Structure 1
Amino acid sequence: MTFEELIQSKPTVEWKQRMDEEDEIFTDENISATNDVLDSYINQLKGLGDASTKEAILGCVKEVVLRLNELNDDYDYFIETMEREELVEFIEEGAKIVGFTSEEDITEEWREW
């Protein structure tokens, strides 16, 4: 997968469709805020370049997870089981693009959702 493909596979694309189909946990505001956080994560990973060490990548993962924790609190806990799985997959795919893979959930240490 490339960064462009990752951008196209953001969970928020499906969330918008589910919102349009009357899924009431989503709003334009929580989808937009999540998009901003995910875009920032992608940009941080892109910015690592040759510095894409395990520690640097996990630093990006930690930041995106902590920011998503805040959003989930701010927007009445809209990250439920399906959304959690989609976000974890997205975050792990981003890490994989810059060379980090793990058999474990790399978000679990910081994740509150």
Structure 2
Amino acid sequence: MESLSAYSTEFEEVRSRHLPDDKERIVSRLSFTGRDAIRAVQRAYSSALPFGLTFGDSSNVVAEKLEAGPFREGKSSTLPDYSAERFVHSHAVENLVVIAKYDTDLRLMAVYLMQADRTMLKAKHRGASLSKQNIEPGNIDKVEALRDQIPTLRWREAMAEGDELFNEADIATAETALNAFVDTVKAATSQRDAQAIRAAVKDIVLAINEINGRSGMIETLERDELGVLIDAVVRASGFSLPDDEDITAEWREW
């Protein structure tokens, strides 16, 4: 549970209230944890799980029951030492985020339900309005011009000056992915394909997620450089974004 002010910052405004002050507490997450995934002092949840889920379901079965594949996959460190590997998949189901946690065999150990936050609701609205985007084929030169803003040149200079945050292998991987992103957006711009532009954003964000998961080299400055570049490339195509919207937030982990 969270305070009203904390909840309102991340999520939509509460529709109704019964207490007159900020002492009101709002439920922000429901957690269901299975018998084999908990400490001895805890009691396993034994009633029916939401969406017809069952502890022990495979990740594929979970996706089928939710009728939605995961929009984010990663490793979890929040469950006890039940297995050597623990995985977490996040699914968007209507206006909820369903977080499924798995053991090393990708068998369901726990389920968390959360309300979709403002970022996810904006992304959902944006996805529904892609057909209304006014992509301009004549803007491919504007997209190409932004290739010069790929920040890997500065990263290499920082590495040469002794910054141990960076390594050549991950810089090269990021550079290849960023050039591919610009190429894809150029092609999508020429075809007026807003869906392909959004998919290109997802691909580059996931690629940087993977790089950062290995090296941790995306800190505040690097995050800002990448965010500015991705936003500028998308806008250069004619894709319209509100000034306060981060198109990377739906998938970004850095």
**TM-score under structure 1 length normalisation:** 0.89
The aligned residue for residue 69 of structure 2 is none
Amino acid aligned to 2:223: R
SS of residue paired to 1:2 = helix
The aligned residue for residue 197 of structure 2 is 57
- Partner Cα separation in structure 2 for residue 10 and residue 70 of structure 1: 18
- Partner Cα separation in structure 1 for residue 249 and residue 229 of structure 2: 14
Alpha-carbon displacement from aligned partner over 1:21-67 (angstroms, at most 9, x marks no partner): 111111111110110110110111111112332x3221111111011
- Partner Cα separation in structure 2 for residue 100 and residue 23 of structure 1: 36
Unpaired segments ≥5 residues, structure 1: none
Structure number with greater CO (CA < 8 Å, separation at least 6) is 1
Task: Kindly report structure 1 stretches of 4+ aligned residues shifted beyond 3 Å.
Answer: none
1:107 paired to 2:107: no
- Partner Cα separation in structure 2 for residue 86 and residue 112 of structure 1: 15
Map of 1:10-49 to 2, 5 A cutoff? Answer: 10-48=150-188, 49=190
Cα RMSD over matched residues? 1.5
Which of 225, 229, 240 is residue 86 of structure 1 equivalent to? 225
**TM-score under structure 2 length normalisation:** 0.42
Confirm or deny: 8 A CA contact 1:52 1:98 kept in the other structure: no
Amino acid aligned to 2:164: E
- Partner Cα separation in structure 2 for residue 31 and residue 56 of structure 1: 25
Unpaired segments ≥5 residues, structure 2: 1-140
- Residue 69 (structure 1) shift: 0.6
1:96 paired to 2:235: yes
Identical-pair percentage: 37
- Partner Cα separation in structure 2 for residue 40 and residue 86 of structure 1: 17
Deviates more, 1:44-53 or 1:24-33: 44-53
Deviates more, 1:7-16 or 1:32-41: 7-16
